[in-house]
Amino acid sequence: MGPEDIEVVAKRMAQQMKHYLITTYGKTSEEATDGELYRALSLVIREEIMINWTATMHTVQRKKARRLYYFSLEWLPGRLTLNNLQNISDVELVKKVLGYLKRDFMHVMRSEPEPGLGNGGLGRLAACYLDSLATHHYPAMGYGLRYQYGIFEQEVWSGVQIERPDTWLLGDYPWEMRRDSIASIVNFAGRTVEKQNKKGEPVYFLADSEEVRALAYDIPIVGYGYKQPFSAMTLRLWTTKESPRNFELARFNAGDLYDATRNTAVTDVLYPNDKYSLGLTMRIKQEYLLVCSSLQDIFSHYDRIYDTIDAFPDIIRIQINDTHPALTIAELMRILIAEKNLSWQEAWAITKTCCSYTNHTVLKESLEEWDAHLLRELLPRQHLIIEKINAEFCNRVRAKFPEDEEKIRRMSIIHNDRVKMAHLAIVGSHKVNGVAKLHSEILQKNIFPDFHEFFPDVFTNVTNGVTPRRWLMGVNPLLSKMITELIGDKWIVDFEEIARIKEHAGKKDVQERFLQIKLQNKKCLLDVLAESKKAHYGSMVDVEKELFMEGDALFDVQIKRIHEYKRQLMNALQKIMIYHRIRKNPDSVRIKRKVIIAGKAAPGYDMAKNIIRLFYCIGRKINTDPVVGQKLKVIFVENYNVSKASLIIPASDLSEQISTAGMEASGTGNMKLAINGALTIGTEDGANIEMREAIGDEFWPFRCGATTAELAELRQSGKYKPYAIIQSHPDIAEALESLRSGEFAENDIERKIMQSIYDNLLMGSNPDYFFVLQDLFSYNDVQNRVETYYQDLHKWAEIALHNIGGMGSFSSDVSIKNYAKNIWNLEPIPVDHDELERVRREFLESDRCFIA
């Protein structure tokens, strides 16, 4: 498109936006808010996207090809408008459009709410995978839940995390389409009635059950259009909020307010607090609602094309993303036997063929187990099926290991009245994958060794990846432009091309340009944080005390959910050690350092909330200290989400990846930071190991901490004595003493919190479970090395560029191609050009709002 054509199209789009502003809001462009402009803009560009979306769906349907259905309780797509503009190559065009309307492009983009559909890495990974599936034209569809209030919106007042509803749906959300014709009925509780199917096998139906109606909303996921028309996939979300029949008016009128709204509330909040029975019930309801509604929808698609079930195992693939959708196994069996009249063995063969399971954790707390009595009460049919699956599986294990009842007990899906959802997912899937080489090894050797012995060909690895389109091209346009000028633009869809940037890493002019880009990104971050704080807190906060330090400081960043195994506590203790060093001798610290922490603590996780409080107390003292504040700042960025990450990551110099070795499955924040030129200070955990191997030890100077094997030996031998650490390291002892003495506390509550952290590290029968003190000396020593390296900024830039160049295999495109080849056996289906033109022609013929 030439410059004159761009002008014509831009003016036409501006007219279309004015049209929508008047017809939707009754406002002219001068009167409209930034939020109203963003919605009008989204409606304009949605027209082009809907054409390709429709053509993509028609192409896949006509090909009758194998299709993937990705089940995930979490999705974190982030703001979609800018991402969609980028993927259809309209960013510069829209900047010109908003220029005509005298509006700031980024202000309009930032007025978009962020969909509250996830919590952290699990949801963001799923979103990256849909982006890659769409970009590379794989026939796929995502399923999730449309949470009315997200997980929660985090505010931090005086160090206390306050959870408020995430009201992302308060206004119209233009990227979702309500599908009134697509709904499902989900049954809970009731009593089972046994009958026989056409094969003469017992099947169970429900009587006196509780019916919940789930309604579908669709969001188009737009792939990047690289030298061919872009594809668009569907993310379908289920809600119980929009179905009037879920509200029981008779109960409400009788004064039973809770029971009247219990079914409309199923999709209100992600991860209800499972400390309480109500939260446990709601979690099971959410997981089954996702599974049941999505499987009904899959069969609806299938039955429109095929008259028999014969083709189902050939064209359907279902990916179970973590244990939350593990009930897929039981529900698919129920449908095949009760509704499709298959025998048990026929249904089991189809289920095993169609389903695969990704494990994302080694933490026992995250390997879901449900109380068998509660599951039987809520899902009586599925519980009966799980019992039969378990009985048959245990018989198979017993036949192979007749003398080993202990092995059977360990492998049983149901044990001690607990239903182990990971076991169900493993037994019912044809492939089970971990998400990093170390993680997959731990699964096979430590977490599920009996299953690996029994199913040696089932377990595999697919290392996680991130989409470079969102996490480099989207969040860091200045760096992306530099890379494209140096090596071309193929890296956008083939990230292994990024290796060519290493050829330029030693050039002084490239290093200088990289440093200037980093400086601009830092200033942008500080400006947005200052603007946000002033808008939110007004005169109640002294922004300057936190943010005044010049942008040439090292930006030391740890951004992830707050959890003990991620060891934000070790970071906090090391910053206390720096504080003490500066107090004793300001010249002993050779660089300025701005520490940025962000992440949410689960509502019921007291220790995580205490760690947030500790950072607040440390920052309060450091930031106001006239001496220390010249060298060190500590800030906590509240309500961390995709949008905050998009600002912090491009500005980061040092990426904190310091989880206890063996406990982080993979991580993706480590990848996002590395491809934006942050150097990693990290343990040998998760994908850190593979990143180090890919980048090379020469350019990975900040490795720290004990290995998984070393920590396992310490734990098993019982030799780990945290007190011995502080006795041999006075600086660590001084940091711990500052907790016990309340050096950073200003009231009794803060003193009690710091004492509890101290006790957690040193007291009790199993102190310092996450080996914070064990690794603190190594971590602090490597942080001193960071200071040395950062004094030579050009050398730092050279290493950073080599880090970027080594990250080619950590793209979600690579991950998806591995899934497609090794697990799904899925082939790309680009959008058919003739179908695209047919849909476009039909649109233009009926476009009454077309602005000539």
Which residues are catalytically annotated? 360, 560-561, 566, 668, 672
Shortest CA distance to 136 belongs to which of 849, 827, 852? 827
What beta strand segments (E) does 359-471 contain?
369-371, 414-415, 418-420, 431-434, 459-461
718: left (phi over 0), alpha (psi -120 to 50) or beta: left
CA distance 384 to 202: 11
The 3-state DSSP class for residue 529 equals helix
- The residues, ordered by sequence, that sit 6+ positions from 314 with a Cβ below 8 Å of its Cβ are 66
CA distance 737 to 572: 14
In the block, residue with structure tokens 């499972």:
274
Q: Return the DSSP state at 113.
A: P
Q: Would you call 26 exposed, middle or buried from its count of C-beta atoms within 10 A (0-12, 13-18, 19+)?
A: exposed
Q: Which CA distances in Å does 156 have to 153, 636, 771?
A: 10, 9, 27
Q: Would you call 592 exposed, middle or buried from its count of C-beta atoms within 10 A (0-12, 13-18, 19+)?
A: middle
Give just the sign of the alpha carbon dihedral 578, 584, 586, 590.
negative
Q: Which CA distances in Å does 639 have to 21, 146, 151, 439?
A: 31, 20, 11, 29
Orientation angle between helical segments 477-487 and 508-537, nearest 10 degrees: 160
Q: What share of the chain is helix, strand, coil (3-state, %, to 5)?
A: 55, 15, 30
**Pairing, β 232-239 against β 140-145:** parallel
To the nearest 10°, report the CA torsion of 629, 633, 634, 636.
120
Q: Which helix (H) or strand (E) holds 717?
A: helix 708-717
Q: Would you call 547 exposed, middle or buried from its count of C-beta atoms within 10 A (0-12, 13-18, 19+)?
A: middle
CA distance 222 to 85: 9
**Is the distance from CB of 115 to CB of 77 less than 8 angstroms?**
yes
CA distance 264 to 805: 49
To the nearest 10°, report the CA torsion of 259, 265, 266, 272.
-100
In 10 A of CB 155, how many CB atoms?
A: 14
CA distance 561 to 540: 27
- The residues, ordered by sequence, that sit 6+ positions from 157 with a Cβ below 8 Å of its Cβ are none
Greatest pairwise CA separation for the chain in angstroms: 84
The 3-state DSSP class for residue 639 equals coil
- The residues, ordered by sequence, that sit 6+ positions from 98 with a Cβ below 8 Å of its Cβ are 37, 41, 104, 105, 108
**Is the distance from CB of 460 to CB of 822 less than 8 angstroms?**
yes
Kindly report the three-state secondary structure assignment for every residue of 269-332.
CCCCCCCCHHHHHHHHHHHHHHHHHHHHHHHHHHHHHCCCCCCHHHHEEEEEECCCCCCHHHHH
Two tokens, residue 126: 């799923």
Shortest CA distance to 579 belongs to which of 748, 749, 756, 780? 780
**Is the distance from CB of 322 to CB of 73 less than 8 angstroms?**
yes
